[in-house]
Amino acid sequence: MMTCVWLYVFFTILCHSGLCEVVQNFSDVPSCRRFFYQGQEPLGLSSSKTANICQRLQGVYYYATLYHRVARVPIYSAYILEQSTTSRPDISSSNWYLEPMLADIAREDMLPPSHSTMQPVLDAITESQAVNDDYRNSGQTRGHLNPSQHHSSESQISTFTYTNMAPQESNFNSGTWNQYESFLRDQILPACSQAHILTGVILSGSSPGEGKWLRNRVNVPTFFWSAFCCIETSGARRREGRLGRNASPYDVVNKTIPQLQDILSQEYGGKVVLFQGSCQ
């Protein structure tokens, strides 16, 4: 009993010292807060079913994710757009990273399922998040919200985690949505001294039985959305949004940030603000 108490105390100290990857507030971790425009996370998308993840690999924070524990997909990932310097890493999907702390296992870094410390706790981790078996032979691809092509070689690998994935139709993933991701990399990034990106989903249902699910565990979103705030080299701000349909005809529609916020507010039942400080 005393061992359990001391483990709880140790875990709590780690969390409050900013070493925990799953945090109560993104603002508690300065290295994680920086991924949001002016250090302020979106309003109106979190709930009692979501978890704040500061995506950390080998002691380094690379982006932030709001993860839906029931739908087992991220509601959004927030990151800073970088110049891609290498090709996509060759990592088997069976060894993509998992997040132990979603299962209350005191490991600060994401880890691959093959890691020795993961083997005894894989059942608990599988209960807490999506894993490779959910996607295998499902007809859905593992759709990055934060794509590897938006990062340098040091941070590309960190995007290959199932807490950064949502089921995505193949033609959408490799087609119109990929074209938008390339637009951000090739046309937006060169004009920006810094670009903050938010990419998220609209769920097809909040619990199994509502909407479309993989193996009754992982929600298949109806839409993917994205918003960017570009701080141009002149000091001006540019902000735009996109809404992409995760089904034929896979259209990706331009939206102003207010339009996108209105759509998300209707879907999530409260006022949504993507960029506090407005990025005007």
CB 220 within 8 A of CB 167: yes
- Does residue 150 lie within any of the structural domains? yes
User: What domain range is 49 assigned to?
Assistant: 35-268
Range with lowest mean pLDDT among 20-34, 133-147, 167-181, 196-210: 20-34
Question: Total structural domains in the chain?
Answer: 1
Q: Is the pLDDT of residue 7 over 80?
A: no
Q: Is residue 77 part of a domain?
A: yes
Q: Where are the beta strands (DSSP E) in 69-179?
A: 73-80, 141-144, 165-168
pLDDT in tens, 176-196: 999 999 999 999 999 999 999
Residue 17 lies in a domain: no
Residue 4 lies in a domain: no
Taking residues 255-280, report their average pLDDT: 94
* Contact between residue 43 and residue 273 where contact means Cβ atoms under 8 Å apart: yes
pLDDT at 227 over 70: yes
Those residues whose C-beta lies under 8 Å from the C-beta of residue 48, and which sit 6 or more positions away, are none
Query: Is 124 a member of any domain?
Result: yes
Instruction: Band the pLDDT of 53: cuts 50, 70, 90.
Output: very high
5 within a domain of the structure (yes/no): no
Contact 102, 50 (CB under 8 A): no
**pLDDT confidence of residue 278:** 78
pLDDT of 166 higher than 90: yes
The CATH number that applies at residue 42 is 3.40.570.10
Does some domain include residue 95? yes
Judge whether 26 lies within some domain. Answer: no
Task: Report pLDDT for 14.
Answer: 39
pLDDT of residue 134: 97
